[in-house]
Every structure is written in structure tokens, then in C-alpha cells.
A and B are shown apart, each in its own frame.
Chain A
């Protein structure tokens, strides 16, 4: 669903992402982990087409993003805690607007179905700006699956949710991967969540992939008792030591 090859983003004074390569396969949930400033959001922004890579290649469902931007992005969608939907439109209006922008046929039925699936029926005429964090997350997720994406990017989708709401969102997203036909790239700082949801994780630091593997096995493979402990150790070490440890 997603193929990232030798992806690099450099600015005059910093290399934000340095020759990163990875894949997200069909029905797979891949966690993109790393400390703040590791390059996760930069990577996601490049996959979303809102940031041009300095070099490298991105293919979404086999379509080259640089060459066929619209075709590639039609296969993807996203939800991010820092990209809330326009607060001056109602829930239904937002879904209708983005549905048209994604070029969805039979839109009214699709929106009706999503309102029901995400328990938004009673909120359909409420302006998104007045919804609670949990409700806004549900709307953002409904928007993220509007176009039945083959690649779903979720940047900290449960960041502002209480444990119960986060649990519901996690199981819903897990369901999208197992029952649907899409691959999911997920970023989170919640290691418990990552272990529960992700089939595979990539650990990013200083713009590079340091580790890759099963989140339930990685800690023991690297002498840590939990994924959180491994995260903290890798995040606090300088790049050279982190690379040695990863090898």
C-alpha cells in the first residue's frame, strides 16, 4: 500500500529525514515511533504530498506520488491531532465538502453510513468547532475513511482522548485494517497503544530508521523489559550510540 524508498528531506541547516525506506503492506498497521523532532511528522507530511522530499520516492498503492500526485492522494487519507477540520462547518457539511474534494460517488449515502458508524448521527448539524476532543477525533476518523483509502495515515489519533474513548478508537482502527483493504501508518507516543495495535514498528531518531520489528519482541531483543524502556533509551542516546545498539 505504501512504498517509501531512500526518502530524504534536508533544510539548509538540518537534515530532517535521512534516506528512510520502509513499506506498509495491505491489512498491516505499522507504528512510526520516535522522540519529538525525530522526523515522524516530516515523513508523514511528505507522504501526504504537502512537503516535497529533497530526494527519494513515495508510492501509494503503486502510484508514484511525485509523478501522479492527484491519483496517488486519491488512494490515501489521514487524521492528525494538529489538523482539525474547519470548525465553522457542521459535521455533515465537513464530510460532504471533503467527500466532493475526494471525488466520491454516491456521497450522501456514504456520509449517512459514516455518521451512523462513528456514532455521529446526533451531532451531524453541530459545528465541528464546538465538539469535544473525542467527538472531533471521531469526525476526523470518519473523514479519514470517506474515500475508502488504501493507505491511512494516523498521526497521534488518540492523543487527546480519555482511556475509554482511546480504546474504542483503537479497536475501530484495528478493524479497518483487518476487515478492510488498507494499510495503516500510525504514530503515537503511547507505547501500550503501539503494542496493542501495531503489527510492526519503525523507530525513528535523528531522521533515520534505527529499529524495525514486532513491538512485542523488540524490547527483549534489545535488552529492555518494555517497549517504553527501549523508547526512552534510544531517544536519550546520541545518534552514534543508538546506531551501534541497533546493530
Chain B
């Protein structure tokens, strides 16, 4: 992989974000709204429980981690969609750019945009609602890494899906995190779910993160084995998503979909 083409993908996204408040605002606006809303909900729940249980780390912490995952996923897919919206595939893929270089550029873009969102969430959650991430200790790092890995995988998968199904399928991309959230137990233990949903949840890396987070907040140690399993699943998902994208790309080259993508002639 060469650095210059990857830098090109990054620079293009930087130009777009710098030149457009419409693109810059969602990097932090929605996560800020989420933190504020859930912050007040947790405050209200704390009042109701009369100090018997502190909802801030459990609920607000979960919201923050989930939003981080969502931002990572959408960071990759939105960067990809920029090429869909500007009908840039022909210009882009008639260059020496390789698919690994392109995807790396999308991932680096996502790291940049989601880092802004994470920072805003951390500042807001701790300053306004007293959320202390020190309570999670160093485990916060592997938690974020697992969510990061799975967010990347889902973003690449979503991009492949849009490439295969056409521009209108971007509407399938946005609700993907919401579709997964009941299965991974963001706000409740997996044991709450019916058996089949638990089985699905166990295949999804974020389940191990939220399980671990709740264990730490309950004063227990997070299972290193479970977290390692979550990390391994996230890595596997990245490989599978990369394979899926490469397969779709080859299909698009073979059928002519790439050359006449905006025509939506392939379903």
C-alpha cells in the first residue's frame, strides 16, 4: 500500500468537511444531543431510586460507547457515500488506487471524524453529568478498540452493500446500528433476551464490551477471556467485510456496474 493515494482520500474528506458546516456539524451535534438527553434521563432515574443506584455510569456510559461505535461505522460509510453522491467512481477507480488503499483512506477518515465525536461526548458527559471514565480504568482502551474494530467492519460491509445494490440502498445503511443494538445488550445483560437473541448477541463483538462494562461497574472484574473473544470476533468481521467488499468490487467490474453506477441498472 502506498501512502500518497491514501493521503489523497483523506485530503478529499478534509476539504469536504472544512468547506461545509453541514458535514462538520453531525460529527458532534448528534452525539452531544444523545449525551444531553440520556444525561437528564439518568439524573431523573437517580432521583427516583433515591440514591440506591447510580444510573450515570451504566446508562450514560453505555450510550457513549454505543455512539462511539455508531460514529466509527458511519464515518466509513459516509466517506464512501461521498463518492456515490458526487458520482465519482469512474474518476476514482480508473486511477492506480487499489481497494485496500481506498478502504484504508475511508478508515482513517472515520478515525478522525469519530475522534472529534468521542472527545465532545467525554467532555460533555463528565462536565455536565459527572460521568467518570476512570471508573472503567484501563479497560476502557480495549472496550473502545473492540467497538472500533466492529464499527470499521460494519462500515466496510455497508459500503459494499451500497456498491452492490445501488445509490438508493444508502437507506439500509443508517439504521444498521439501531438494528443491532437490541442484540448486543447495550442497556441490559444478554440474559434478559430470549435464547435465540442471546445466540445472535454472542456473535457480535459489542456484546462482550457491554458485558464487561457492567461487570466493572458492579465491582467485579471484566472477563479477559470474553473480551479477547470480542476482539477476535471484531478482527474476523473486518476480514470478512474486506472480503465482501472485494467480492462486490470484482462483481461491479465484471458486470459494468462500476462504470455506470448511477444508472441503478443492477438490482
Chain A interface residues (CB < 8 Å from chain B) = 11, 42, 45, 48-52, 69-71, 73-74, 76, 78, 80, 82-90, 93, 96-104, 143
- Decide if B9 touches A101 in the complex (CB within 8 Å): yes
Determine if B258 is an interface residue (Cβ-Cβ < 8 Å). yes
Chain B interface residues (CB < 8 Å from chain A) = 2, 4-5, 7-9, 11-12, 15-16, 19-20, 86-98, 250, 253-256, 258-259
Question: Please, which residues of chain B bring their CB within 8 A of the CB of A45?
Answer: 256, 259
Query: Measured between C-beta atoms, what is the minimum distance from B30 to chain A in Å?
Result: 22
Known: A51-B253, A97-B8, A100-B7. A85 touches B91 (CB 8 A): yes
- Decide if B86 touches A88 in the complex (CB within 8 Å): yes
- Decide if A50 touches B12 in the complex (CB within 8 Å): no
Query: Measured between C-beta atoms, what is the minimum distance from A104 to chain B in Å?
Result: 8
- Decide if B93 touches A100 in the complex (CB within 8 Å): no
Cα distance A93–B20 in the bound complex, in angstroms: 14
- Decide if A83 touches B91 in the complex (CB within 8 Å): yes
Known: A51-B256, A86-B86, A88-B20. A78 touches B9 (CB 8 A): no
Query: Measured between C-beta atoms, what is the minimum distance from A161 to chain B in Å?
Result: 20
Query: Measured between C-beta atoms, what is the minimum distance from A76 to chain B in Å?
Result: 8
- Decide if B8 touches A98 in the complex (CB within 8 Å): yes
Known: A88-B20, A88-B86, A89-B15. A49 touches B4 (CB 8 A): no
Cα distance A83–B258 in the bound complex, in angstroms: 12
Query: Measured between C-beta atoms, what is the minimum distance from B24 to chain A in Å?
Result: 14
- Decide if B258 touches A50 in the complex (CB within 8 Å): yes
Question: Please, which residues of chain A bring their CB within 8 A of the CB of B87?
Answer: 83-84
Cα distance A70–B1 in the bound complex, in angstroms: 11
Known: A101-B9, A101-B92. A50 touches B259 (CB 8 A): yes
Query: Measured between C-beta atoms, what is the minimum distance from A25 to chain B in Å?
Result: 22
Cα distance A143–B8 in the bound complex, in angstroms: 14
Residue of B nearest to A46 (CB): B259
Known: A45-B259, A87-B86. A73 touches B9 (CB 8 A): no
Provide 19 A-B residue pairs closer than 8 Å at the C-beta atoms, listed in order of the A residue.
A45-B256, A48-B90, A50-B259, A51-B256, A52-B253, A73-B94, A73-B95, A83-B87, A84-B87, A87-B86, A89-B16, A98-B91, A98-B95, A99-B8, A100-B4, A100-B8, A101-B4, A101-B97, A102-B95
Question: Please, which residues of chain A bring their CB within 8 A of the CB of B15?
Answer: 89-90, 93, 97
Question: Please, which residues of chain A bring their CB within 8 A of the CB of B93?
Answer: 49-50
- Decide if A52 touches B254 in the complex (CB within 8 Å): yes
Query: Measured between C-beta atoms, what is the minimum distance from A7 to chain B in Å?
Result: 14
Question: Please, which residues of chain B bring their CB within 8 A of the CB of A73?
Answer: 94-96
Question: Please, which residues of chain A bring their CB within 8 A of the CB of B90?
Answer: 48, 50, 80, 82-83
Question: Please, which residues of chain A bring their CB within 8 A of the CB of B86?
Answer: 86-88
- Decide if A101 touches B5 in the complex (CB within 8 Å): yes
Tell which of A49, A73, A76, A100 has the most Cβ of chain B within 10 Å.
A100
- Decide if A70 touches B256 in the complex (CB within 8 Å): no
- Decide if B94 touches A100 in the complex (CB within 8 Å): no
Cα distance A93–B253 in the bound complex, in angstroms: 28
Known: A73-B94, A83-B91, A100-B11. A51 touches B259 (CB 8 A): yes
New A-B contacts (15) at CB < 8 Å, excluding given A48-B94, A52-B253, A90-B15: A51-B253, A71-B96, A73-B95, A73-B96, A76-B94, A84-B87, A86-B88, A86-B91, A89-B16, A90-B19, A97-B8, A99-B8, A100-B5, A101-B96, A103-B4
Query: Measured between C-beta atoms, what is the minimum distance from A143 to chain B in Å?
Result: 8
Question: Please, which residues of chain B bring their CB within 8 A of the CB of A74?
Answer: 96
Tell which of A52, A78, A86, A104 has the most Cβ of chain B within 10 Å.
A86
Cα distance A88–B253 in the bound complex, in angstroms: 26
- Decide if A97 touches B96 in the complex (CB within 8 Å): no
Known: A50-B93, A51-B253, A70-B98. A97 touches B259 (CB 8 A): no
Question: Please, which residues of chain A bring their CB within 8 A of the CB of B4?
Answer: 100-101, 103-104
Query: Measured between C-beta atoms, what is the minimum distance from B60 to chain A in Å?
Result: 36
- Decide if B256 touches A103 in the complex (CB within 8 Å): no
